[in-house]
Amino acid sequence: MKKDIHPKYYPKAKITCVCGNEFSVGSTVENIKVELCHLCHPFYTGKQKLVDTARRVEKFREKLAKKETAAKTHKGKKAKKQAKAAKKTGPAK
C-alpha cells in the first residue's frame, strides 16, 4: 500500500456560519465557512428565508399572476363550442 497518499485529518475542524454559530467536527479541511447551519436553516427553524439576488422569485410571481389573470379572461374550448353552437341554432326562446 502507498504511504502518504491520504490528506491530513483534523479531528477538531472549526465550522463557522454566517449567522455567527461556530462548532467543530472532524474534517480534512481545518477551517470551513458555511452560509447555512442547523440554527439558521429554514427546514429546522420553520421560517422562510429567501436569498434572491437576481429577482427570480419576484419575476416568477409576476409571471404566475399574469397567467392567472389570463386564465380568468380566457374562454375554454367547451365555452367556445357552446357559443358557436348557440350562434348556429339562434337565440334560445
Nearby residues of 38 by Cβ (< 8 Å), 6 or more positions away: 44
CATH of the domain at 47: 4.10.80.400
pLDDT of residue 92: 55
Our measurement of the distance from residue 6's CA atom to the centroid of its chain's CA atoms, rounded to an integer in Å, reads 37
Answer positive or negative: Cα dihedral of 44, 49, 51, 52: positive
* Owning domain of residue 66: 10-74
- Does some domain include residue 42? yes
pLDDT of residue 86: 78
- Does some domain include residue 20? yes
- Does some domain include residue 79? no
pLDDT of residue 47: 79
pLDDT of residue 39: 87
Q: How many domains, the chain?
A: 1
- Does some domain include residue 29? yes
The per-residue pLDDT string of the chain (93 residues; one tens digit each, 9 = 90 and over) reads 788 899 999 999 999 998 899 999 999 999 999 988 888 887 778 777 666 667 888 888 899 898 888 777 766 777 777 777 877 776 555
3-state SS of 40-84?
CCHHHHCCCCCCCCCCHHHHHHHHHHHHHHHHHHCCCHHHHHHHH
